[in-house]
Amino acid sequence: MSEIERYIAPQAVVEAVKAMAAGPVTILAGGTDLTPQINEGRRKHAATLMNIQRLEGLKDISLVDGEIRIGTLVTVTEIRYNALLTESATILCDTANCFASEQIRNAATIGGNICNASPAGDMIIPLLVLGASVELTSWKDDALFVRREAMKDFFKSPGKTTRQDNELLTAVIFDKPSADFVGKFRKSGPRPALEISTVTVGIGGDLKDGVFKNVRVAFGAVGPTPMRGTATEAALEGQSLNKDVIQAATEAARKDATPIDDIRATTWYRDHLIGVFTEELLNNVC
Ligand SMILES: Cc1cc2nc3c(=O)[nH]c(=O)nc-3n(C[C@H](O)[C@H](O)[C@H](O)COP(=O)(O)OP(=O)(O)OC[C@H]3O[C@@H](n4cnc5c(N)ncnc54)[C@H](O)[C@@H]3O)c2cc1C
């Protein structure tokens, strides 16, 4: 394997994106995906390695003009214990609590989980349920250029997103959920955490007077990318969560998902789990 020829650790986003505009750069955040991928020969690195841990302004969780903004360098542990998220977007904290071990959670960043773009990336599921967008920053025409893209459109195939090589993911942003918002997450595996997901399901929406509205459903590890369950959402939108509606949603979830056989589970088992988890979460929503 080729050697790393240059190591940089900028402090300002502008320096980082200028370096990315100048030529190929491999970005290192917590390193919990990148390091094993390089060590095992599954990933090639560029001649320049850029450690982004020192970048200023990317480690905060804030509420501005009704939007919650999570900087790309916020760790899974910080999400788990954050007061604003605990109060208004508990589904993110619950998911963080099912993520790996304490040691990995302390290093793993939200941006790394998103940019690794695994179909089994856990933190992506609650973010899809919250209707989040990614913020991508680059250096263009001698100025900082910032664009947003809805996460539902961001993932293209395993490990691939619409992010261009010169774009740094700087934050993930979503509207603060309403007081009526309820969000639930379920991950497969005999242990609550330390499992690479074979199936994950996230469901959220506003529950008022027994009616479920603005529903979003997301599935992980049942297709080439993390995905929204549009048929499941349609089966639930504006409905009371009675037995018939839950059964219709469970059937729709099985149609939304396109699981494959792989080393961790068969198609049959994944299909079965999708139905079981969808039903279980909906029974727990009310
Ligand atoms: C033992 C173990 C257990 C794990 N368990 C889980 C689990 O339960 N659930 C789960 O989802 N994952 C799990 N993972 C995977 C990993 O921890 C997460 O995906 C983590 O969030 C990656 O974040 P990181 O900061 O370590 O990213 P890194 O490894 O530093 O980077 C990951 C990728 O994203 C790119 N990148 C990082 N930040 C940016 C940015 N700001 N802009 C552009 N590109 C960027 C990097 O270049 C790299 O390609 C586990 C890993 C290990 C080793």
Mean pLDDT (whole number) for 269-281:
94
Q: Give the Å distance between the CA of 141 and the centre of ligand 1.
A: 31
State the amino acid at position 219 in one-letter form. F
Residues 77 and 142 in one domain: yes
Mean pLDDT (whole number) for 66-72:
98
Atom of ligand 1 nearest to the CA of 194: 8
Is 226 inside any structural domain? yes
Enumerate the β-bridge partners of residue 48: 6, 25
pLDDT at 285 (0 to 100): 86
pLDDT at 246 (0 to 100): 97
Locate 74 and state its tokens. 């916020």
* Boundary (domain end) residue, out of 175, 200, 226: 175
DSSP letter string, 29-68 = SS-TTHHHHHHTTSS---SEEEE-TT-TT-S-EEEETTEE
Report the chain's C-alpha Rg in angstroms: 19
Is 229 inside any structural domain? yes
Is 261 inside any structural domain? yes
DSSP letter string, 79-100 = HHH-HHHHHH-HHHHHHHTTSS
pLDDT at 109 (0 to 100): 98
Locate 103 and state its tokens. 């040691």
Residues 156 and 68 in one domain: yes
pLDDT at 132 (0 to 100): 98
Residue 265 three-state SS: coil
Opening angle at CA 173, ends 172 and 177, nearest 5: 135
Q: How far apart are CA 82 and CA 35, in angstroms?
A: 27
Convert the pLDDT of each residue in 157-203 to its tens digit.
999 999 999 999 999 999 999 999 999 999 986 565 566 778 999 99
Mean pLDDT (whole number) for 65-84:
98
Q: Domain total for the chain?
A: 3
CATH number, domain containing residue 213: 3.30.390.50
Mutation to probe ligand 1, out of 116, 127, 164, 200 (largest number of atoms < 8 A from CB): 116
Ligand 1 lining (C-beta closer than 6 Å): 26-34, 36, 52, 72, 99-100, 104, 107-109, 111-113, 115-116, 121-122, 168-169
Convert the pLDDT of each residue in 105-145 to its tens digit.
999 999 999 999 999 999 999 999 999 999 999 999 999 99
Residue 258 three-state SS: coil
Is 56 inside any structural domain? no
Mean pLDDT (whole number) for 222-240:
96
Residues 129 and 222 in one domain: no
Give every CB contact of residue 124 below 8 A, 6+ residues apart in sequence: 113, 114, 151, 155, 218, 220, 226
Q: Which carries the bigger pLDDT value, residue 226 or residue 258?
A: 226
Mean pLDDT (whole number) for 21-48:
95
Mean pLDDT (whole number) for 212-236:
96
pLDDT at 195 (0 to 100): 63
Residues 199 and 216 in one domain: yes
Residue 234 pLDDT greater than 70, yes or no: yes
Protein residue with its CA nearest to atom 40 in ligand 1: 169
Give every CB contact of residue 171 below 8 A, 6+ residues apart in sequence: 58, 69, 70, 71, 72, 134, 135
Q: Give the Å distance between the CA of 272 and the centre of ligand 1.
A: 28
Banded model confidence at residue 259, pLDDT cuts 50, 70, 90: confident
In angstroms, how far is CA 133 from the centroid of its own chain? 10
Query: How many angstroms separate the first and last alpha carbons of the chain?
Result: 54
Residues 77 and 160 in one domain: yes
Give every CB contact of residue 283 below 8 A, 6+ residues apart in sequence: 246
In the numeric block, the tokens 């700087």 are attached to: 170
Residue 1 pLDDT greater than 60, yes or no: no
Residues 107 and 71 in one domain: yes
Enumerate the β-bridge partners of residue 150: 133
Atom of ligand 1 nearest to the CA of 58: 41
Mutation to probe ligand 1, out of 58, 109, 151, 194 (largest number of atoms < 8 A from CB): 109
Is 273 inside any structural domain? yes
Is 1 inside any structural domain? no
Is 35 inside any structural domain? yes
* Boundary (domain end) residue, out of 125, 149, 175: 175
Is 73 inside any structural domain? yes
Q: How far apart are CA 18 and CA 23, in angstroms?
A: 9
Residues 70 and 168 in one domain: yes
Q: Give the Å distance between the CA of 32 and the centre of ligand 1.
A: 5
Residues 276 and 189 in one domain: yes
* Boundary (domain end) residue, out of 175, 196, 217: 175
Residues 144 and 235 in one domain: no
Residues 157 and 104 in one domain: yes
Q: Give the Å distance between the CA of 6 and the centre of ligand 1.
A: 22
Look over the chain and give the mean of its residue pLDDT values, rounded to a whole number. 94
pLDDT at 67 (0 to 100): 98
Determine the structural domain holding residue 187 and report its residue range: 183-285
Residues 108 and 18 in one domain: no
Residues 68 and 155 in one domain: yes
CATH number, domain containing residue 74: 3.30.465.10
Mutation to probe ligand 1, out of 32, 42, 173, 185 (largest number of atoms < 8 A from CB): 32
Residue 255 pLDDT greater than 90, yes or no: yes
Mutation to probe ligand 1, out of 28, 34, 77 (largest number of atoms < 8 A from CB): 34
